[in-house]
Structure formats: structure tokens, C-alpha cells
Structure 1
Amino acid sequence: MSFGDAIKTVFSKYATFSGRARRSEFWFWALFVFLINVVMSILISATGGISIDLDTGEISYGATYFLAALVGLALLLPNLAVTVRRLHDTDRSGFWWFIALVPFVGWIILLVFTVLEGTRGPNRFGADPKLAAGEAPAQAPQV
């Protein structure tokens, strides 16, 4: 799956928490969100999206800060959905997402789950997305 295909797929399944997501779909989406965050951070820094009055200590937020907040909110639901579908591909319930809330180690465990190869063939969450894309299943090497 290419970068563009992954982004299209995630947006077409904006709030779809059922089914499975391939590793490439998940990680290309993660790269896309990272790049959007970099662009938003640069815009906020360049336009003074957040400023602090040194005399009073008052914080003021500019339009680009609110734009970045809206973009973040718009990407929240598809981000959760693709993460749940990625967990489904490894034959885990979407509720495993909450492991990320465990201090210090939770996000590491979730990261490991998203890196692992998905279940080959169908599982309780649906058909293998690699087979659905027309790819042949990986064969074990002959001994």
C-alpha cells in the first residue's frame, strides 16, 4: 500500500472501528499525522500563534493556534479508528488502545502491538487485508 492509498483509505474509513488495517496503512497514516503536526508547529511559531506578555504573564492565542487545534480534532477520530483496526489485525480487541494510558510502559506496549505482523488469513475481526488487496500469502521457506 502506498502513502497516498493509505491516507485515502483512512479518510474513507474516517470513523470505522471495525475491520483490519495493515501495518503500511497504519504507519503511513502515522507519518502523515507527524508531517501535519510539523507544518502546524512551524505555522504557529512563524505567526506568533501563542504569545506571552512578559509584563503581565498573560497568554494570548492567535488564529493559527486555533487552526492547529481544529486540525488536531479533525484527525483524532480517524487516528483512533486506524489504531483500533491495526489492533484488530493482530487479533486484539480495540480496547487494548487504553493500555497506552498506563504510565511509562503503556505506550511502549501499544507500539509493540502496532509493529507486530497481523494475523495471516481471516480472524474474528475480518478478512486478511493483504489477501483482500490481492497479495499472495507469504510462504514459509523450504528446508
Structure 2
Amino acid sequence: MADQSQLVWLFFSVSGRVSRAAYFLGGLLVAIVQAFPLYRFTLVPEGTPESNMWALTFFVAFIGSLWSNIALAVKRLHDLEKPGLVALVLFVPVISIIAFVVLCLFPGMPGPNRYGARTNDRG
């Protein structure tokens, strides 16, 4: 079982490098965290206290997951020896989907680079 500091690093830190698998699985978890409250919101009648609660839950999950998506992408770019600033393309709607696929498919740089000694390392 991963220790808590590893999970905090994976989802909230922009230092270090992550592998394709860690990026994909982390991105999948973030998508589930976003989708669940949205799904629950669609099941309840509009304008009820329960719908307001799920709307707020979705908003909080979305804001938290937005940073997590950026942090994951920056670390994945670091593994490809690219600057994290390139992660800004995630804010361009169509390009973000293409960028996610590219980051999932292209292997990282073997061995150490300027962003860390090895993949899945805090750097």
C-alpha cells in the first residue's frame, strides 16, 4: 500500500517524474473523482437541497482535480524531458484529449534527466 506522502506527491506536487502507467491510472482516478458527484447530481431533482449538495461536491472535486491533472501532466512531461509549462495545452479543449493520449503512449527518457534520477521519483 502506498504511503500517504506518495499520494500527495503524485496528485499535488509538480516535481519529479511519472511513468505512462502512473499518469494513466492517476488520470483515471481523477476522472472518476470528477464524474461521481456529477453523476449523483443528475439523479436528484433539480433545486432540492440534495442537488445543491451534489453541485457543491462536484465544484470542490473539480477544483481539486484540476490541480491534480496539471501536476500529473507536469511530472509526465518531466519524464519526457520537456518543461512543465507545456501542460498549459491541457486547457485547450480538443488538444487536451490528444495531449492525454500522447502522454499515455510515448515512453519517458531512460535514466536520469534534469527533472529526476528515475521515473516515479520525487526528483
Normalising by structure 1, report the TM-score: 0.67
Paired-residue identity, %: 22
Higher strand share: 1
Asked if structure 1 preserves the Cα contact closer than 8 Å seen for 2:90 and 2:99, the reply is yes
CA-atom RMSD in angstroms: 2.6
Match of 1:125 in 2: 115
Which of these two proteins has the greater Rg computed from alpha carbons?
1
CA–CA separation in structure 2 for the residues paired with 1:33 and 1:103: 17
Residue 26 of structure 1 pairs with residue 15 of structure 2: no
Aligned length: 117
Q: CA deviation at 1:87?
A: 0.5
* Residues in 2 aligned to 1:111 and 1:8: alpha-carbon distance in whole angstroms: 27
TM-score using structure 2 length:
0.76
**Partner Cα distance (2:111, 2:24) in 1:** 21
Question: Which has the larger share of helix?
Answer: 2
How far is the alpha carbon of 1:33 from its aligned partner?
A: 1.7
Distance between the aligned counterparts of 1:103 and 1:39, measured in 2?
A: 21
Higher relative contact order (CA 8 A, sep 6+): 2
Aligned pair in 2 of structure 1 residues 126, 77: CA closer, same or farther (>3 Å)? Answer: same
